[in-house]
Amino acid sequence: MSGGRPVPAIAPLRIGQGLDVHPFAPAGERPLVLGGVVVPGAPGLVGHSDADVIAHALADALLGAVGLGDIGHHFPADQPEWAGADSTDLLARVVAMVGDARWQPVNAQCTVVCERPKLAGHLPAMVDRLSAVVGAPVAVTAKRAEGLGALGRVEGIACLAVVLLAAEPARDPAAAEPDPVAVEPDPAAAEPELTAGELA
Ligand code: MG
């Protein structure tokens, strides 16, 4: 076949996906934290940090989009530093890493698979919290597993996330010209490489 349509010129974009699963801890052991929001009246999840499965899936999607690995690589579970960590803080650090790589989030969507508790009443607060941390609209939807498998037996909660990133606009060389009084070469100000080879 020949004569295909030309590919339109668009801004450089990246897509990333994340997946995370955490088992429930015994009732009363720790709070359930999802999307940066404490959901009262339900057992928490087992994890080195606060086990926020939504924040973790979203962080993995962001890191994956720019080829920076996953949160287990950046915040290892064997380091006491991250014990009980607020996962929205970890997410904020990931957003900063993405920004350092000269990419900015456009939007994201998280689908949390949770048989119990019911999350509908908590989703708006999660959306607000995650959108504020990411700096772009983050949608959160909740699905039940309809009784199937480990998630359906209420053994844990899973989350899938997808995120779209756009390359930061090229800097205006004139606007970026440093103050002659404070001239100091900044290696971090190097022009970004936006080719696929960057991630090899
Ligand atoms: Mg996790």
Residue 99 Cα to ligand 1 midpoint, Å, equals: 22
Q: Print burial letters for 134-166: b (CB count within 10 Å at least 16), e (below 16).
A: bebebebebeebeeeeebeebebbbbbbbbbbe
Residue ranges of domains in the chain: 13-170
Residue 78 Cα to ligand 1 midpoint, Å, equals: 13
Per CATH, the number for 13-170 is: 3.30.1330.50
Residue 18 Cα to ligand 1 midpoint, Å, equals: 10
Strand residues in the chain grouped as ranges (E) = 13-23, 32-34, 37-39, 103-113, 138-143, 156-167
Residue 103 Cα to ligand 1 midpoint, Å, equals: 23
Q: Tens of pLDDT along the chain (200 residues)?
A: 456 787 666 779 999 999 999 999 999 999 999 999 999 999 999 999 999 999 999 999 999 999 999 999 999 888 888 888 999 999 999 999 999 999 999 999 999 999 999 999 999 999 999 999 999 999 999 999 999 999 999 999 999 999 999 998 765 555 544 444 444 555 555 545 444 444 33
Closest C-alpha to 119, from 158, 163, 86: 158
Residue 74 Cα to ligand 1 midpoint, Å, equals: 12
Residue 20 Cα to ligand 1 midpoint, Å, equals: 5
Residue 26 Cα to ligand 1 midpoint, Å, equals: 17
